[in-house]
Amino acid sequence: MKNGALLIPVCLGWLAIFWLLPRAKPRSRILGAIIGLAALLALQATFLPPAGNIVRDGMFYLFSGSAILAATLMITDRNPVYAALWFALTTLSVCGLFLLNSAPFLSAATIIVYAGAIVVTFLFVIMLAQQTANANYDHRAVQPVLASVMSFVMLGALLFALQEWGGIDGKADDVAREGQFVAVDASSKANQFSQPPSSNKTEIGSMRVLGRSLFSDYLYVVELAGTVLLIATIGAIAIAPRRSQGTL
């Protein structure tokens, strides 16, 4: 069976997540942690071969492992404050992966927007709203069997598609193919400010290349995003409760 190796990490991961999901009666977390680590190791052996560069591989395993670990702890923690903090750790790990993808500006922006703004405001709301520390709705998961089975079937389908795609088995060549999925249209080619695909890969995340692409090819989209931000701000102010309606 050609794709049989895919079943081991998926089934082990499902078992770990299903074991760790919050229940009315708490379970031992050590067993779930052991199963989860076994799933990650099986996944590494099957799907995540080292690329050859030892520093890059080490950083990739570090960041991706901490991202997956923190995400697992976030969705299984019974305390919502800790869950939000685990989400902040996930964000930091993903920003490390962004750095590996030569996106330093994006990494800094994501840290500022997520860890600096979103997580902190959500933490404020959790702390304002939950004066009673133990809310029983945090201690029981909704339909844990159905939800975890469905999500892991989807994950298995994604991994299967990746495997069938061919690169994981080492069939894909190492040459980067420019514009394989998206062809550059004529109007973008005629735009003299448009940045041609850079051959220097360390440069693609720099402010210069990113800014040229943003404000030439995607100028209308930038305007549209600004409008969406403005509308969302107005909507949030309109929806949020007034002081005259009482505070929390």
Segment 198 to 217, residues that bind other proteins, using CB under 8 A: 198-199, 201, 204-205, 209-210, 213-214, 217
Among 16, 35, 42, 74, binds other proteins (CB under 8 A): 74
Q: How far is the CB of 31 from other proteins (least distance, A)?
A: 18
52 sits near other proteins (criterion: CB under 8 A): yes
Helical pair 119-129 and 80-100, crossing angle rounded to 10 deg = 180
Name which of 136, 148, 67, 134 is nearest 100 in CA terms.
Answer: 67
Q: Are 71 and 108 in contact (CB under 8 A)?
A: no
Which residue intervals of the chain are DSSP H helices? 7-20, 29-47, 54-76, 80-100, 104-110, 119-129, 144-165, 186-190, 207-212, 219-239
Show the CA angle centred on residue 37, arms to residues 32 and 39, nearest 5°.
95
186 sits near other proteins (criterion: CB under 8 A): no
Q: Are 216 and 191 in contact (CB under 8 A)?
A: yes
160 sits near other proteins (criterion: CB under 8 A): no
Q: How far is the CB of 215 from other proteins (least distance, A)?
A: 10
47 sits near other proteins (criterion: CB under 8 A): yes
Looking at the Cβ atoms of 31 and 125, the one nearer to other proteins is 125
Map residues 23-42 to x or -, x wherever contact with other proteins holds by CB under 8 A: --------------------
Among 31, 62, 108, 150, binds other proteins (CB under 8 A): 150
168 sits near other proteins (criterion: CB under 8 A): yes
Structure tokens at 232: 């969302």
Q: How far is the CB of 159 from other proteins (least distance, A)?
A: 7
Site for other proteins in 120-149 (CB under 8 A): 121-122, 125-126, 129-130, 135, 137-138, 140-144, 146-148
Give the C-alpha distances (Å, rounded to integers) separating 61 from 50, 73, 215. Answer: 9, 18, 35
62 sits near other proteins (criterion: CB under 8 A): no
Site for other proteins in 212-241 (CB under 8 A): 213-214, 217-218, 221, 225, 228-229, 231-233, 235-241
Dist CA 42 CA 34 (whole Å): 12
Give DSSP secondary structure letters for 58-78.
HHHHHHHHHHHHHHHHHHH-S
Q: How far is the CB of 214 from other proteins (least distance, A)?
A: 6
